[in-house]
Structure 1
Amino acid sequence: MPESSPRSDRGPAPEADGDADGESGPRDRPALLAATPDPEAVSDRLRTLAALAGLLGLLLTLIALELLVRL
């Protein structure tokens, strides 16, 4: 049975990709984290999408009612 090395049990070395302030380097951060929009922009877009979905639902309901009335 192979023994685990002491280095792998401790995790990465503290000096790897670390700044003097203790913050991680840019390679530790996910690439999409920098591209994530702020919550205000997301809520504005969600509100717009909800309004468009409501209008589309209303339009489909009116078309369905028109077809039912013609029967």
Structure 2
Amino acid sequence: MPESSQRSDRGPAPEVDRDADGESGSRDRPALLAATPDAAAVSDRLRTLVALAGLLGLLLTLIAAELLVRL
């Protein structure tokens, strides 16, 4: 029978806050919300991705046109 790892034998980390039901405390939630980017940052990244996709499409179109002209 394989031995279980030490990590799975350990209990929860001591710094994790647990309530009576064993659920993690509300201390975990603000960190997740703080890591969520705001709408302005997301729109800037989407605009950048759209511009890069447009340039890639233009490049592929030019390459395809070049190959068709050579035929």
Q: Indicate the TM-score class for this superposition, using the shorter chain for normalisation.
A: 0.5 to 0.7
1:25 counterpart residue number: 26
**Which runs of structure 1 show a deviation greater than 3 angstroms over 4 or more consecutive aligned residues?**
none
What is the aligned-residue RMSD (CA, Å)?
2.3
Q: CA deviation at 1:25?
A: 3.2
Question: Amino acid of the residue matched to residue 70 of structure 1?
Answer: R
Per the normalisation by structure 2, the TM-score is 0.58
Residue 34 of structure 1: CA displacement?
Answer: 1.9
Aligned residue in 1 for 2:36: 36
TM-score, structure 1 length as denominator? 0.58
Q: Distance in 2 between matches of 1:32 and 1:61?
A: 42
Corresponding residue for residue 70 of structure 2 = 70
- Residue 30 of structure 1 and its aligned partner are, at CA, apart by 6.7
- 1:53 partnered with 2:25: no
Counterpart secondary structure, 1:33: helix
Could you tell me how far apart the structure 2 residues matched to 1:32 and 1:69 are? 54
Q: How many residues align?
A: 50
SS in 2 for 1:68: helix
Pair member with larger Rg: 1
Identity, % of aligned positions:
80
Structure number with the higher helix fraction is 2
